[in-house]
Structure 1
Amino acid sequence: MPHFPVNHPARPIYRVLAGLVGLYILVFGVWGVALTWGDPLFDRGDAWALGLRTNLAFSLASVIFGIVLIVGASRRGNLGHHMNLTAGVVFLATSILMMAVLQTEANFLNFSMSTVIVSMIFGLLLLGTGLYDKVGTDEHAEEERRRRHHPVSEAHR
């Protein structure tokens, strides 16, 4: 059974961090849509927004993803926890996939190496925030703490 800390004391900081990542992605997407409006959806042109190359498809996806991340960060329950874990994996997988096709015609989101690096960083940040922002009852949090500090588990460290 995986272990996710429950009611971690730094949870509000992690949620703010996830919200800031979402805000950056939203601003990037809106700026990218404004720059690429009227271009073909999967254009491989030279449009750059906030230091990242983009096209209309990537910008529209970024607007949607940014809104989703901001909504997840603003919720008090475990919705944000699950959204951040999922978004982290999606960002990491997308960045690796797009890096594999960077110099080919299959680069349909018009990624550059800087976009790959930022996507990997965002994926790691979101995955990290998802690991530590789980919410539970005080009893559940205490049970997790006891299990983590149980004498048997101490002997296996």
Structure 2
Amino acid sequence: MAHFPVNHPARPIYRVLAGLIGLYILVFGVWGVVLTIGDPLFDRGDNWALGLRTNLAFSLASVAFGIVLMVGASRRGNLGHYMNLTAGIVFLVTSILMMSVLQTSANFLNFSMSTVIVSMIFGLVLLGTGLYDKVGPEEHAEAERRNRNHPVREPQTR
């Protein structure tokens, strides 16, 4: 069974970190849309926004993802927990898939290696924040702390 710490003391820091990543992705997406607004959706041109190569499709997806991450970071419940876990996995899978087609015509999001690296870093950070920002009742948090500090031991047989 998965172990997610409940009410971790650094939870506000993790939420701020996820929010900053969401803000960067949102600003990148808006800047990319402004740069690529007249281009075809899946153009393989030489458009760069905030150090990452982009096209209109990737910029629009970034705007949507940035908004989703900002909403998740602003919520106090477990919505942000699940959104960060999901976004982390999506970023990691997307970066690996796009890296595998980087130099081919299948690179429909116009990724560069720097975009792959940034996506992997964001995916790992979002996955980490998702692992530690679970919220629950104080009874669950106390039970989780007891189990972590004093795990159940198997009875000794003679």
Common fold: TM-score over 0.5: yes
- TM class by shorter-chain length? over 0.9
1:29 equivalent to 2:11? Answer no
Task: For 1:134 and 1:151, locate their aligned partners in 2 and report how far apart those are by CA, in whole Å.
Answer: 21
1:13-72 CA-to-partner distances (Å, cap 9, x unmatched) read: 000000000000000000000000010000000000000000000000000000000000
CA distance in 2, matches of 1:37, 1:70: 24
* Whole-angstrom distance in 1 between the partners of 2:151 and 2:122: 37
Q: Which amino acid aligns with 1:104?
A: T
Deviation at 1:133, TM superposition (A): 0.3
Displacement of 1:151 in angstroms is 4.4
TM-score, normalised to structure 1's length? Answer: 0.96
Question: Which residue is equivalent to 1:111?
Answer: 111
RMSD between aligned residues: 1.1
Aligned to 1:91: 91
Residues 1:110 and 1:5: Cα distance change in structure 2 (over 3 Å): same
5+ long unaligned stretches in structure 1: none
**CA-CA distance at 1:148 after TM superposition:** 1.3
* Counterparts of 1:106 and 1:28, CA distance in 2: 22
Q: Give the structure 2 partner of residue 16 of structure 1.
A: 16
TM-score, normalising length: structure 2: 0.95
Alignment of 1:1-157 (within 5 A): 1-152=1-152
Letter in 2 for 1:118: V
Distance 1:3 1:48 in 2: 40
Q: Return the offset for 1:152.
A: 3.4
The secondary structure found in structure 1 opposite 2:152 is helix
Distance of 2:74 and 2:122 partners within structure 1? 18
Which residues of structure 2 form unaligned runs of 5+?
A: 154-158
Q: Distance in 1 between matches of 2:121 and 2:34?
A: 25
Paired residues, what number? 154
Displaced runs of 4+ in structure 1, greater than 6 A?
A: none
How far is 1:91 from its partner?
0.2
Q: Secondary structure at the match of 1:48?
A: strand
